[in-house]
Structure formats: C-alpha cells, structure tokens
Structure 1
Amino acid sequence: MRVLLYNFVQPEEAGAGGVGVYLNNLAKALARDNDVILLSSGDRYSPTSREPRVTFSRDAYHRAVIVNSPVIAPAAYSFGDPDTYRSSTQIDFVPDMLFKKYGKIDVFHFQNIEGLTRSFFVALKDAFPEARLIYSVHNYHPVCPRVSLWYQDRVVCEDYRDGAACTMCLAPIFDPHYIRNRRRLIWVEKAYPRATAALAPVLHLAKLARRSLVKRRARADTADAVSTQGQTVAPIDAPSDVPLAIPSRVPPATSYAGFRNDNIALFRDVFDQVLAVSERTGKVFVDRGVPAAKVAVSYIGTAHKEKYLTSTKIIDIGSGLHLGYIGYMGTDKGFNFLLDCLERVPADIAAGITVTIAARNTFPDRHERMEEIGRRFKTLRYFDGYTHANLDAVLDGVNLGLIPVLWEDNLPQTAIELVSRGIPILTSDRGGAQEIAKNASFIFQAGNEEDMVDRLSRISKRELSLGAFWESDIQVFSMNEHVQDLMRYYAPDR
C-alpha cells in the first residue's frame, strides 16, 4: 500500500510539534510494510521565485514539499486571511504532479489543512478518485481559524455567531509579506551562512525598526477602531519575533463563516473519514457541523506504551499526596485556574501536600504567584520546563498528576506521559484526557474550583483511593496497535 502523510512541515523539522512526533512514529511504523510519502506545505518560500512549485527528494521515505504556498502555515499566520484558503487555485496542479511522480496512491492521511487550500482537496479527489482521503483531528482548525476554539484567550468558543465572534477574537493578525520575506531570508541564511552573518547587525536593526512601527500603528488603530457592540478591546502587542499587521484588516464575519462551511462541505463530500483522537474531540467537531456519519475515534499510538506496561501503578498516597503538573503556564492549559485551586485548599490539608510544577517561566507574574502560594504547602518543587530525558527525575515522588485544562485539548500528551509512568491523573471534563481512564471520580468540572479542591481533599484524606483510578480499562496504545486500527479506515474492504 502507498500512503501519503501530510503535515505543514516535515516531521523532523523545527515547528512540527507534537503532531510531528506522532507523524514521525507513524511513518516509521507504516514504512515496515508500506510505501510512505511525506508531503508538507506552507512553511517554505523561495528567495528566487514567487510561483508555487514542488520539490521532491528521497531518503527513508519519499518526500514532497510545496514551495511558495499561497496559504502560510501554521494556521496562526493565516488567521487574518481565510479567503485565500477558500478561493486560491494556485496549487491545484500539485495532485497531478503527485500522480505523475508516484503513480497510484492508496491513502492520503492529513493531520491538518494548514498550508493548503480548499481547491487543492477537490483537485486531489479528481486526480485520485479511488484513493481514501483521511483527516485526523489533532486540532480544530477546520472549524476555527484560530485552531483552538479558545475565544479571546479566556473561554471556549461555543457559538461563533456565523463568524462574528471570529472578528472579535483578538487573535493576532500577522503581516503575510513579512512572514514570507522572513522565510525567504531563512532559505538564504541556510544557503549562504557567511554572507548573512556579515549582514546580521543591519538586518537586526531593520527588524527592530519595522516591529516598532507596526506596534505603534497597531495600538493606534486598535484604540481608534476596535470597538464592537459597546465592548472595547484592549490594544494588542506584537509578539517578540513577528510583527502584526494593522488590526482593521480583520476580514468580515462572512469570510470566517465561509471558511467553516467550506470545510464542513469538504468533510461531507471529499473526505472519506474523519478520525478524532478522542471521543470528546469528535463531539466538538460534530457539534459544529461536521457530519457525524463521517467521524470515528482512533486513539493515537505512543512510544510510552512500553513504559506503561512495565511501570508500577501507584495505588496509594503513601506518606502524603504529591501533586504533579507538567506543561505550560497558559490560561487555556488551566495554569491560572490551578493556582486558584491550590490557594483554596484548606490550610491543614495543604500543609501535608507536596507540589511539583514543571513549566517554562513564560509568565513571570504567574511564576511569582506560584512561589507565594507554594508556601502554603509542605514543599513546592519547581522546574523551568522539562525534557523527555529528565522527566522521570522531575516526576520522582509524584503520585497524582493534574490536567486542569480549560479548552477542549484534543488529547494532551502530558496526560499519556503521566499515566504511562503509573501515575493516576485528575482531569477536567474538557478535551480527551478524561478518556484515558474514563473514571468519573477523577474528573472534575472545568473551571470549577470547588469541585477540583474537593477531590484533592478527599484523596489527601484517603477518602478516595488512587487505586480506584486503575479499575477502568486504561486507553494507552502502542504505535503498532494504532496502525492496526488505522487499517480499518485505510482499507475497509480488505
């Protein structure tokens, strides 16, 4: 079988993220018995030409890279331009090139639509009418241009109001010309490292000047123009590395509504199967219009399965409860909510609890608050992030992991990493982490401080045993098990 796997960047490259790790493992597993092609688009722009083209290469896999895509990836860079995705036909030639290069391809498995166009998928189905088109839901981009359904960085977007909510979402509007030119420069830097090193001071000054100008324009434009239905929006600062375009360039609601509706039509008419990485993720998709008949659940495989099989499962708090949080300090990840909960734990109970937090110090104010709250507890152990190499040391002694997410986090890898080490987890009812054990005693209502604190207190007082967590059928799968499951959708008639 010949299988094409798509992500907007090649799986080993910087920026591939968690999906890249998954895709790398999937490609290795599939390549044992199948011919694997890796396609990417939206991340490479040529300094010598502007027309889209495809470059081909071969190592352990066949590789195809679309250069100069009209849609910039990742999705954050294209939030302000949904219409290019909807209307551009510039890469419609690619499916025919793939056919000429590789001949018959049995399965096209997309991990996202970032870097591609709506028309590309229609052309692909025309060029490969017998192929199976599969889409895995690692994020919500097809129904949310911002990807996460996290409205204004504060609440889950339950009603996008036919695109009107998107126009008020406060997502950064990036300057596409800057993004493309920066990526062209990266290309040059790799090709001519000595020359670009000599010019680096001048380029840096130019970047700082431009960033300052765009920030001033953005603040002025926001202060003057961005007020919708009586709700004034605070100015948006540009990130440290990429300037924003002017906020008044936010497209109309009809463009965002069209983006969602066009993708729902693709899932209905072009794709053969939509694979959600959790039941909750599938429900979120279906609730927003994706046909339920096209959606199935396929839990992803992980390299941690072997560790799960050999780990000693923690069934008791031993000498005391030891909480562990690993990940980020983001609001969507529930970090602020976690601090609120820790602050509410009764003093007599807190005095017997150890807390370990491993998260990069990206918000100094939150870090400072964490340190202050930590004084209420027996011990606070803090790590400025973690790697897989030191994760076992970070989690040493932890007997309960915390997944307090507020957004519909599809299936947090941190949850799998904790459970695979024999550590029970207490999760919110948002996203897919709750499905690893499907144990209601270890699931609290997202954002409900009283509910989470009550469960922590009961566990600390041994009213709820950690051993109860393992009474359910734990959903942790190896990559081989995952591939076997995928074959049901890759070749349903075999």
Structure 2
Amino acid sequence: MSSPNGHISHQDARPTWPRTDTPLRIAILGWARLSMQVREGSGYNLSASELASGLSMSGHTVVGLSCGMRYSPIPGIRIRHLETWRNIECYDIINSPCHSPAAMNFRNMPRELHSPTLTQRIIRWLDEHRIQIVHIHSLEGYSLDLISAIRATDRHVVCTLHNYWFVCPQVDLLWNETHVCDNYEGGDRCVNCLPRSPSYAKQRFKRAAGRALDRVLGPNPANIIRGTAYSLADRVRNKHSKDTELAGNDEPLADPELALGFNVARNTNRDVIIQHGLALHSHEQTPELGVAPIDQNERMLAPDNNSNGDRHLVVLNEYGKRRHAGADALNHASLVTPPSRFVADVHARMGVDKDKLRVVRLGQPHFDQINRHARRHRLYEHRPWDASHPDRPLRFGFFGTTRNNKGLDVLVRAIPLLSPEVRQKCQFLIRASGWDWPFRKRLSVYPEVQFAGGYDMLQLIAAWGEYDIGVLSHVWFENSPLVLLEHLHAGKFVISSRLGGPVEWLKEPEHHAHYNGLMFAGGDPHGLAQCITRCVTGDVVVPSPKEIHDATPILQSYPDHVREVESIYREFLGDMPVKHTNAQHPEIEVKADHSVLQAQ
C-alpha cells in the first residue's frame, strides 16, 4: 500500500534503536567536521561521524571537535560552536598551531610534538562540557602531547587508528606517495618525502585570508576570487598556453577506420580498439608507482637481524623524534582500536604496547543497507559468471579516487596487458573522483572501459547490479578500506593488492574451499591482469553473493559496532564487564604461500 507521497507503507514493525539508561558524556575528536562526513576526511570521517550519530541515538551526550582547518587574521587560539548536527554539538578550533590534513603540516614537526597552549585550551573545553570519555579518530591538526594531558585529568582516551599518522607524518607509510616505506631510516627518508608540502606560515596566511574573504564577501563571491587566483597561479607555474583539464581535443582524429562507415566485412581490426588520437601531454604524465614484493606485509613486520638496531625505532632527526612521540602518545591512551590486525601489528612493531591494542571491526549504516539489499535480491544465490557459456561481459568495478595510493594507475596499466580474447569478455566500470582525464585518454582505445566519475552513497548502493567483481589495486598498506567492506557486504568477489589489512578478509581458492577473492603483489599490473584472466576464463569460479557472505564471517553490522564501542567505554568506567570481540573472531592466516605465488 502506498502513502499519498508515493512512499510504500510497511505494516510490519521495525525494531527501534535501543537507548541507554545510564548516558555518558563523550567527545569525538578529529580534524574534519562531522557533518561533512565523507566529503571532508573521506572514510575516517564517515566512520567517526556515524559512530557519533549512533552513540547520540543511544541517548549519550556527544560533542564533536575539529581542528587545524580554520584560521583568522585575529590572533589567538579559540574554540567556537560550529553547528548542531544529528543532535551532536559540534565545535571548531580556530588558529591551531598545527594544520590539517597531515600533508599541510609536514614541515611543522616541532609544533606537532608539543603545543601546550592548544592542549590546555582543549582541556578547558573538556572540563566545560564535563566529558567522561574522549574518543580520538584523528589527531591531525592537534599536537601529540594532548593524549597524556587528557589522561592526567583522569579521563579515559580511546584512539581509533584509521591510518598510520601516529607513526608516519605522511599518513600512509608511502614514500613520495608512490612507494611503500618499510624503513624510514631514522627520519632521514622523511625529509624529502613530500617536497611540495607548504610551510606553516604560508598555509596559515592562505587560510586566514580565505576565511576573511568568506566572512566579508560571502562564500560564493569568495570562491570566485579564490578559484581565479588559483587558476592564474597554476598557469604561471606550469606555463600552460593551450592545455586545460577539460576533455577537449583540437587535434585531428587518428581513427584509421574513418572511411569504413558500417563496413566490418574485412575484419581487419580483430582487437576491436577505437582510435581517438588522444596523446598525453607532459603535465598529464602520472608518476611511476612502486611494485611491492608479494610478501611485503611480512617484510614490514619482520624483526631486524642486524647489529644496527631496530629500523623502526631509530631516531636521527625531528621526524625520528616525531615517530617516537607518536608511539609514546598511543601508549598513554586507555585503549587503541585499529580496524585490522595488520594495523595493530605495525603499531606494535613501532613501539606501541601490545596490551593497548584491540582490533575493532568497522560497521556503517550503508554497509548494512548494501548487505540487506544483496540478501533480499532474487540473484543472491546465483553465480554471476559462467565462463563456458558467457552471454554478457564479466563486469569489474573500481571505486575510489585518482590519488596515487588508490592505485588506479595499476588497473589502467593492467587492462592493455589482457589478451584481446579476454578483454572483449570484460566490462570495466571506473568510479573515481578527481582528475581522471589522463587515465581516460590512456584507455580511450578500449570500448570495454567506462569512466563514470565520482560517486556518493546512494550511487554506491545502486551500483550492486552494475558490476560482478570489485578491484582494489592500492599501492599502500590499506588499513580496513571501506570500499573492500562495501564489496564484501554486497556479496562481490574481490581482486585486491596483497598489502595491508585486506589480507585478513580475503580468502583465496588455493587455500580455502569457501573463498571470496584473489590477491596480487601491490603495484604489479601483470599480477592484476593474471587475476582478471583467471576469472574470465573460469580458472576461478566467481562465487554467488551468498557464498561470498558465507566466506566472510568477520563482517560487522553497524548496531554491533556501536554496541562494541559503547561497551569499551563502560569497561573503562567500570560499569560493566565486556567480552572482547577479538576473542570471537577466528584466527586469520596472513602469511604468504610462496609456492603458490610463484606459480601464479
């Protein structure tokens, strides 16, 4: 039965969200505004904001604090009320001595180590709001002395690790944003890691001036002035006279079949490629991404067998001091909750007390929506691909951004390596936010590739019927990537780089009767092409969504995630005993099988 507004009226009762009888007062700290969710801070802020929302729905008093983004010409550190979002009072720190996100503060290590004025102002803010528990999701924009200062006030601090910021000011353990960094050389290697990172003074001036424009002229006129200034600066810096970021092309088409019309009788183009005459210009060249060994995870965690000391603990300069201070800050926390065991092991390897670390799997409302949609679908138990009688292409989906760490370039290099017979049985859907025109140029000859731009949550849920296999070609130690969990909740088979946390979720057919993915060496387009070929040819049977769910028992629902985090708070406040979720998870084998890997 439909209501007057066109919505379906459901007669069956829906379960209500449980509310607590003993509410807590909780502060959620990060650099991004909670209300911006994925639009500012990406996956970290989506996780933090949805957890804050769930805790608020449970009856707790939740306040949010963001830092490092907004500056004023008027000096002095201050905290202002920003907005009320989902019954959460949100505040913002103005004029922090540390910028966010991390890349903007890379030349500012002394202030990132100690900023007593900022820290004491935050302590007063916690006092004003009578906060019992502080949950830090990102300390970018703050200083590392904050955690110990909060603990000195007898408050408990929980730190969720969404990346490696505490032990890596670049955040991703990705040197120059292209190569896995498993040895920072006491800090010496960090010096030239981000050569384009701005100075603190320059960045502060730009942000203060921008905020002044917003306040005087309003956001829209200020954006026009800001955009014009940036465009002029970019043109001067790169000396572009004709090239733009638009998809225009003033060169003659280079299609050798232009005179054929509809005629395909000669069948000279067996590879079925379409020439558009699109050449890459110098400023469109992408950097070379590093190729990691297949056992890079194990190499990262392996002990050093030399007399020069532990490479992860050597301190030679301010970056070395900063890494040591980051581990020490986490050791002052009540608990550190990484979303994957690999992230936990990396931090333990770098000096964080193992007793402080507890894996807490992520849960999100849209994960559950995707999961329920898959379970309710009529094709839930249907395998999507029959290699012996294909009646349509096998569809591969890449969801992410054009940033180097996501490894879109690896997929772009892998597709031309496929044989024509394999490639013509594929369809590639690429949903990547960012400047994708150079990638589109490179793949424009292949009609099997579709670029569809960025995406939002609604499009992600609706994409269930648009692809069969998810592709994660990242080149960094991914933590617990939301896109991986989105694929698995959707019941999709996943081809992934064997780097970081995904190893804990993915089971390969060589090792498991019930499997959900294949892995290849991070950054290796040949390995990715081989995985694609195995799926297309039927060497690996692509499981049904139900089989994927059965092979992935460690997926976490959103209500369970909120309840687990709440139980951690109460554990430290002495309100209730807690069963640790980690003990309920099966042990996961993460070692590389070199015999199988070499065979592949």
Fold equivalence (TM over 0.5)? yes
Distance 1:402 1:464 in 2: 15
Deviation at 1:171, TM superposition (A): 4.1
Deviation at 1:134, TM superposition (A): 0.9
Distance 1:58 1:347 in 2: 55
Structure 2 equivalent of residue 149 of structure 1: 173
Alignment of 1:373-452 (within 5 A): 374-375=446-447, 379-391=448-460, 394=463, 396-439=465-508, 442-452=518-528
Does the residue aligned with 1:93 lie in a helix, a strand or coil? helix
Amino acid at match of 1:157: C
Amino acid at match of 1:380: V
Distance 1:431 1:353 in 2: 28
Deviation at 1:74, TM superposition (A): 1.1
Structure 1 equivalent of residue 330 of structure 2: 267
| C-alpha contact 2:492 2:548 (8 A) present in aligned 1 | no
Distance 1:306 1:170 in 2: 39
Structure 1 residues 317, 209: closer, same or farther in 2, change over 3 A? closer
Distance 1:306 1:358 in 2: 20
2:403 to 311, 322, 330: 330
Structure 2 equivalent of residue 453 of structure 1: 529
| C-alpha contact 1:356 1:398 (8 A) present in aligned 2 | yes
Distance 1:118 1:487 in 2: 25
Distance 2:342 2:28 in 1: 24
Deviation at 1:323, TM superposition (A): 1.2
1:479 to 542, 549, 558: 558
Structure 1 equivalent of residue 270 of structure 2: none
Alignment of 1:76-95 (within 5 A): 76-95=103-122
Q: TM-score, structure 1 length as denominator? A: 0.83
Structure 2 equivalent of residue 126 of structure 1: 152
Alignment of 1:301-380 (within 5 A): 301-303=363-365, 304-311=367-374, 312=377, 313=380, 315-318=383-386, 319=391, 320-360=393-433, 362-372=435-445, 374-375=446-447, 379-380=448-449
| C-alpha contact 1:356 1:395 (8 A) present in aligned 2 | no
Amino acid at match of 2:397: G
Distance 1:195 1:344 in 2: 47
Deviation at 1:430, TM superposition (A): 1.2
Does the residue aligned with 1:283 lie in a helix, a strand or coil? helix
Deviation at 1:424, TM superposition (A): 1.8
Does the residue aligned with 1:118 lie in a helix, a strand or coil? coil
Distance 1:165 1:120 in 2: 27
| C-alpha contact 2:213 2:222 (8 A) present in aligned 1 | no
Does the residue aligned with 1:65 lie in a helix, a strand or coil? strand
Amino acid at match of 1:146: Q
Amino acid at match of 1:286: A
2:89 to 62, 68, 74: 62
| C-alpha contact 1:79 1:171 (8 A) present in aligned 2 | no
Structure 2 equivalent of residue 115 of structure 1: 141
Structure 1 residues 176, 488: closer, same or farther in 2, change over 3 A? same
Does the residue aligned with 2:63 lie in a helix, a strand or coil? strand
Q: Does 1:298 align with 2:360?
A: yes
Structure 1 residues 194, 124: closer, same or farther in 2, change over 3 A? closer
Amino acid at match of 1:481: D
Structure 2 equivalent of residue 16 of structure 1: 41
The structure with the larger Rg is 2
Distance 2:527 2:118 in 1: 51
Q: Does 1:174 align with 2:188?
A: no
Distance 1:361 1:17 in 2: 13
Alignment of 1:241-256 (within 5 A): 254-256=317-319
| C-alpha contact 2:26 2:134 (8 A) present in aligned 1 | yes
| C-alpha contact 1:141 1:148 (8 A) present in aligned 2 | yes
Write the deviation string for residues 74-131 of structure 1: whole angstroms up to 9, x where unpaired: 111100111111133221322441244122x22111011111112332322222x1x2
Deviation at 1:449, TM superposition (A): 4.0
Structure 2 equivalent of residue 33 of structure 1: 59
Deviation at 1:194, TM superposition (A): 5.9
Does the residue aligned with 1:12 lie in a helix, a strand or coil? helix
Distance 2:416 2:484 in 1: 23
1:53 to 53, 75, 78: 78
Structure 1 residues 93, 214: closer, same or farther in 2, change over 3 A? farther
Write the deviation string for residues 250-285 of structure 1: whole angstroms up to 9, x where unpaired: xx95110010001111122x1111111112222222
| C-alpha contact 1:302 1:476 (8 A) present in aligned 2 | no
Deviation at 1:419, TM superposition (A): 2.7
Q: TM-score, structure 2 length as denominator? A: 0.69
| C-alpha contact 2:170 2:194 (8 A) present in aligned 1 | no
